Amino acid sequence: MLNVIVAAPAPFGTLCLPIDDDVTSGELAVQLSALCPIDQQYLSTVSGQSLAQANISLSACANGSSSLRVRLAVRLPGGKGGFGSQLRAAGGRMNSGKKSSNDACRDLNGRRLSTIKEAKKLQTYLQEAPQREAAQAEQARKKLEELQKEIERLESDVDGSSKKRRFDDSEYTEKSREIVDNVRGAVAAAMLKRKKHKKTESVTAQAGPIASSSKTPVAV
């Protein structure tokens, strides 16, 4: 009698099946068909030995032991694979992209290579300082010239707007003079007429009392 301990996928868990010594892997697959169809089963021992062939003796796989641990996996449909090769290719690209850094190493004088690199960078920076200063000065000069041009342009605009411009339109000027003269004449005529009317009213008012006094009888 052989006890076959089957590690089945969830939710079945671990199963223990007592079987005869002459049972083969194909017969075990038939017994496990209630859990998973035979064409979707993949049986193997815990050591990795495949039990895909139907005529493999389970007692021979147990090596004289009274128990045999078997792993039941489910076959999944898919393509030809290639995921492993893709991982290897990606790993190769990553390894090729890595740059070996030896900055922590030292030269024969005991100086770190990183310190030497920084010193070279500083020396190059100091050597290029005059060029940078000249470029900055040129840039500042250009900005100053642009600012001066802008100031001159604004000043010219202000001067041009403050200058007096002569309006030369003889026809408009003549009509304006005629209108002004007509208005002045009309105003003068109206004022003269008003003065005459006031003078007439004052003369009439003075003549009224005299006429009334002449008609009053005088006692003898």
Whole-prediction pTM:
0.34
pLDDT score recorded for residue 28: 84
Find the mean pLDDT for residues 186-201.
Answer: 78
pLDDT score recorded for residue 218: 46
DSSP state, 64? T
Find the mean pLDDT for residues 1-10.
Answer: 84
With a CB cutoff of 8 Å and minimum separation 6, the contacts of 35 are 8, 12, 72
Pure H helices in 57-169: 58-62, 83-97, 113-127, 129-162
